[in-house]
Amino acid sequence: MADQESAVSVTDDRAGTAMFSVPYRVVALAASLVGASCLVALIVVTSLENADALASTAIALAIITFIVQLIVYVAQAEQARRENELTQRLHSELASALADLTARAHGTEAMVASMSDKVLDKALQPFVVRALLEQPPI
């Protein structure tokens, strides 16, 4: 399940199933390679064509920014996936502890009710016996 969360999936809309899945790291690596290739091509074109240095610098910075954004996105996605796993684990532990606490509370309630009935029976027994003995015969 963790592999599916940390991957880009392409699904078939009719069947609703994943046709293929690519990990985020592979997508980021491919995009970084494309960005680096664009940067190299820009350098080659700039040196061969004597292009405007300011425009070339702006495009180079845009490509570098794009690559950095991809790397940051992958890091944030991985961190979010880890936090989600931790949250799910904590939720299941909390649900288990709450179920245990509920079971103990029901057991305690049943035990207190039983003890209360026994104490009440013992406390009222002399009065019931006296009332039955004082009752006139039929």
Look at residue 106 and tell me whether its pLDDT is greater than 80: yes
Q: What is the pLDDT of residues 42-90, one digit of tens each?
A: 788 777 777 787 877 788 788 888 888 887 888 888 888 889 999 999 9
Q: Is the pLDDT of residue 19 over 80?
A: no
pLDDT at residue 24 greater than cutoff 60: yes
Query: At CA 60, angle to CA 57 and CA 65, rounded to 5?
Result: 125
Is the pLDDT at 92 greater than 60? The verdict is yes
**Residues in Cβ contact with 61 at an 8 Å cutoff, skipping those fewer than 6 apart:** none
127 contact partners, CB below 8 Å, separation of at least 6: none
The yes-or-no verdict on residue 39 having pLDDT over 70 is yes
Alpha carbon 31 to its chain centroid, in Å, reads 27
Q: What is the mean pLDDT of the chain?
A: 80
Structural domain boundaries enclosing 105: 2-134
DSSP 70-126: HHHHHHHHHHHHHHHHHHHHHHHHHHHHHHHHHHHHHHHHHHHHHHHHHHHHHHHHH
Confidence of residue 23 (pLDDT cuts 50, 70, 90): confident
Judged by DSSP in three states, 11 sits in strand
**More confidently predicted of 45 and 109:** 109
pTM confidence score: 0.51
Count structural domains, the chain. Answer: 1
Query: 122 falls in which pLDDT band (50, 70, 90)?
Result: confident
Strand partners, 98: none
Distance between CA atoms of 133 and 124, rounded to whole angstroms?
A: 14
